[in-house]
Structures are given as structure tokens and as C-alpha cells.
Structure 1
């Protein structure tokens, strides 16, 4: 059976097909009601093909196909967002893919802390894969790989760590700050204290900036008029795992994001990811979130 790293590296979403895929809407929506781009469908098919061929995946589920899909492998189940940030593709901005890996054949009804690994791919000036594993053990690992000529992955960074003292912020779901008073106050504090704004509107590159700088915060609270958009299974749980494995923190409206049980494929929620001190400063805004 392939190692976890080999299986995740094998989930390269058909980059050549993705680069040339149309950014036009297909005229269809997935089962969760999201409008689909042709690129979403291409990426979804490519990831499923790679996961099936790995032989290591029993069950898969994607944001484009939010149900359990038997893949005939053995060892793990993978939930993934094949193309996170597809709405910014027409502008030529960086986007990514997100993967969460659970042991066995079950995905729904488990917390994010049950994951044995998680990863994200970033498609920008370079193609990167950040893989985290071993959380809950004595020495979790977070590594970055770069895609080179001929499709070979090379280890670019080992022992990735998120710390404190980096004054950058990514204020997602900013509309919520008009009703969530704690969030509004938090945004004003960031501006008054001259934090640097680093927000693209695509989750993977926004988190990767935190990973690259070794700190900072991505904050996505909600309010009555600005409900959650991020899905626990496909986005929140995997990226929370990566963040915590790198030494950072990940919280939702109730506490550690990895503790939340994922009740259904389409469940949504708020999340805050980043350095521990910066995430702690966001707690009041997160507690004021509406789910």
C-alpha cells in the first residue's frame, strides 16, 4: 500500500487539463447548490482518477460530488475540494485544492481530529503541495513539496512552523463585521495597529501566506446576514489540521475547530486559522458568529 505522502502526491489534479479548462459556467450546480465552472468539473474528475489509481483510498467525497464514492482501495478515505477559489480564476489569481484524509471508510459523523493527514495544493507562479501528518502523536510533520519538470515532486521545506509576532491579517467574510460587533472591532484594531492586509478571497493562497510567513491570521467569522460559506468536511477540517500540525491554532465558534463532529457532507461553519496568539485575539469575534 502506498505511504500517505505518496497517495497525496498522486492526487495531482491533472494540471495540464486544468490550465486549459474553461472558466465559463457549465450551467449546472452541484448537489450543494454551488454553480459549477468547467474547471471545477475537470479538477474533480482528475482528483478522483488519481485517488482511485493510488489503491490507498476506500471512500472519497468531494464538494462537487458531496456523497460517499467507493474507490475500491484500502486504508483511507479522502474528502476534498477539487478547486477551491474557482470564483477568482477569471481574474488569473492563485487557487488550490484541499484534501483531508481519514482512516477507514467513513467520513461523515467524525471530527476533524480523526484525520491522519491533510494537504493542500496551490496553483500560482509555482505548483506547491503542503502535506501535514502525525497530529496527535509526539512529532507532527508539515512539509512543502514543489512540482518540477516531468511531474516530479521535490521536498522544498521541511518542519514548517507557524509562530507568533507576524502582523498580517486576512479578514474573510468582511460583510459580517457590520453586524458582528466583535469582528468589526477586531478589524479596526488590525488597521489601527498597522497590520498588513493579505487577503485574496481564495482560501488556499490566503492560508499559504500564513504558512510562508510563519504567522499571521486568517479570520472568517459570521453574522446573521453573512452566514458561513466554508464546508467543514472539504475545507475547514483539512486546513485546520494543517495549521495545527504546523504549530498554529484553528478555532470555530465553540472552540478548537478539529473537535467539531461533521454531521453531514454539506455542513458549514466559521473558522479562524493562524498563529496561536492572533487566533486567541479573535475568540470573541468567533464566539459571536452565527451558524
Structure 2
């Protein structure tokens, strides 16, 4: 993918285009890896967060690190599989990523994803999601899609959200812009994650009952990326992941929540941890986790009580 494949945003964003092109190339590599069906087993190790690692996790992680190094536009990178600020030899940006979000459902052949946050400079710790220069996520399903939130001074939020689809051709694969200026409004769709928290979190349990009584449609896959993607592409809805004493937060601010919140808010949606936008939270630790509600503004507002 060329530097300008994500649109012409001026010379000040040329290196950002290079970073996003590297991410797109990595996503294409991971799509091919998943189609091979040869990396479904556990490797018998865990990452520093205590998560079991699959062969596909490690392979996808290597792919993205290699692509970022080759770009020469990334100074620092960090992933869920290697949660350190790692110098990768370039200059311009720092990238945090989850190379395969939802890898636990790969065996069931569900859609899974990858998540990317891009910050200008060479640091990730101490930053906020609002400071991201761009964010992206990929969905690996019946087709491979890449959603990107980019600077766009002409947009209401100063950002635009685009969908690219990987098109396979005899002469090679290409990315095609398939949706531009994606927007989120209000739709009666909900994805209730960490549902076991509802056993102790009565506000969450009551909210779920309210959704049912108001004839909301349930759309939940067990994967953060595909559930948020459904909200984005269908034009509205809510994903929520509250907590309780015995069901604490699992989603990480740096690798998962901040990038997806950047995309959703750029599309006119909202995100919250119960008290403020996810984008306002300081990344004080690479392992910082947070409850999250994300999607349509009105529905996120209604969910705040079950998050705090």
C-alpha cells in the first residue's frame, strides 16, 4: 500500500502515512497466516500479563514488529505480547498494538481482529488516548477489513474514519477504500461483555434488563474488535464491559481501549470508564486496565452508572 493510500493529508503527515502503510502490510500478512490454518496450538508460555500464548499470537506479533521496523518511521513499539517500550530504529512515531485481539476464539473460527494506536514521538507511557495521531483496527472474517481514524481538518471532529477492504487479485492483493467518513448515530444494539459481573453489579444487570425490555438486538461475539466493528458499520449501538469485585477489568487501556475509543469518537460516538472519556485517561502503566462503555453517545451516557 502506498503512503497516500489513506488520503492526502499534507507533507506533515507523510511519515504517518508510512506507518499506516506498514500496519496495512502487516494486516495483510496476518490474514494470510490465519488462512493457512497452521498456527492454532498453544506454545506453553504466557506473556508478562499471564495470558496463555498461542502460536498465532507470537507469529502475528513478529509480523507487526518486523513491518514497523521496516518502515523506518517508528521509533518505539509495544505490544500485548511484548509489553515494553521497544526501540525499533526509526524516527517519528510510537505504536502500541494488540496483534491478535480475540485469539481465544480463533479455534471456533469466529472473526478476530488486531488493534493499533499511533502516537507522535517516541514514548507511550504518560500519554493519553486523545494524543494519538491516528488509530486503526483490522477485522479478519469472511473478508479482511482495516478501519483507520485519520486527521482530517475538514471533518467535524477534525478526524475522519475510513474502511479499507483487502481485495485479492491474480496479480496480487490490494487495499480498496470501501467506506469513507463513517459515522455513528443511535441504534438499538448491545454487546454485553464480562456478563458474569452482572451477578454482583446490580446496575449492570438492570441495564441489561432495560435493553431487553426496549427491544434492543443482542450482538455479541466474545471479541472486542468484531463487536465494536459491528457498531461502527451498522451505524450505532453499544459495547460495554463493566466490572464487579469478582470480575475485574481485563481490557487494557494502551493496547485495546484507547485506540478503539479514538476510532469510535472520531466517528461521532463516545467512550467512558464511568467518569470520563477513555481518551482522557493517562497511560500510567502498560498493563493499566479499565472498564469501558463505547458506541452511541446516548447509550454510553445511560451506561455510566454500571461502570463506576
Q: TM-score, normalised to structure 2's length?
A: 0.90
Q: SS in structure 2 opposite 1:282?
A: helix
Q: SS in structure 2 opposite 1:4?
A: helix
State the 1:103 CA deviation.
Answer: 0.6
Superposition pairs of residues 246-285 of structure 1, within 5 angstroms: 246-285=267-306
State the 1:151 CA deviation.
Answer: 2.5
Cross-structure match for 2:39: 22
Cross-structure match for 2:182: 160
Q: SS in structure 2 opposite 1:107?
A: coil
Distance in structure 1 (CA, Å) of the matches to 2:69 and 2:195: 39
Distance in structure 1 (CA, Å) of the matches to 2:304 and 2:125: 27
Q: Deviations over 1:76-103 (max 9, x none)?
A: 1000000000000000000000000011
1:8 aligns with 2:20: yes
Cross-structure match for 1:210: 231
Distance in structure 2 (CA, Å) of the matches to 1:38 and 1:133: 32
Cross-structure match for 2:258: 237
Q: Deviations over 1:214-254 (max 9, x none)?
A: 10000111111100000010001000000000000010132
Distance in structure 2 (CA, Å) of the matches to 1:193 and 1:262: 36
1:85 aligns with 2:102: yes
State the 1:135 CA deviation.
Answer: 8.1
Distance 1:3 1:105, change over 3 A: closer
Is the 1:18–1:43 Cα contact (8 Å) retained in structure 2?
Answer: no
Cross-structure match for 1:55: 72
Distance in structure 2 (CA, Å) of the matches to 1:151 and 1:33: 36
Cross-structure match for 2:166: 147
RMSD: 1.5
Distance in structure 2 (CA, Å) of the matches to 1:103 and 1:204: 24
For structure 2, the residue ranges without an aligned partner over 5 or more in a row are 1-12
Distance in structure 1 (CA, Å) of the matches to 2:148 and 2:215: 32
Distance in structure 1 (CA, Å) of the matches to 2:34 and 2:285: 29
1:178 aligns with 2:177: no
State the 1:69 CA deviation.
Answer: 1.0
After the TM superposition, which segments of 4 or more aligned residues of structure 1 sit over 4 Å from their partners? 135-138
State the 1:255 CA deviation.
Answer: 1.1
For structure 1, the residue ranges without an aligned partner over 5 or more in a row are none
Is the 2:18–2:73 Cα contact (8 Å) retained in structure 1?
Answer: no
State the 1:47 CA deviation.
Answer: 0.6
Which of 100, 108, 111 is equivalent to 1:94?
A: 111
Is the 1:135–1:245 Cα contact (8 Å) retained in structure 2?
Answer: no
Distance in structure 1 (CA, Å) of the matches to 2:158 and 2:49: 37
Q: TM-score, normalised to structure 1's length?
A: 0.95
State the 1:192 CA deviation.
Answer: 1.1
Cross-structure match for 1:120: 137
Q: Deviations over 1:52-91 (max 9, x none)?
A: 1111111000000000111111111000000000000000
Distance in structure 2 (CA, Å) of the matches to 1:167 and 1:261: 31
Which of 27, 47, 70 is equivalent to 2:87?
A: 70
Distance in structure 2 (CA, Å) of the matches to 1:56 and 1:124: 29
Is the 1:141–1:246 Cα contact (8 Å) retained in structure 2?
Answer: yes
How many residues align? The count is 286
Distance in structure 1 (CA, Å) of the matches to 2:276 and 2:125: 20
Q: SS in structure 1 opposite 2:106?
A: helix
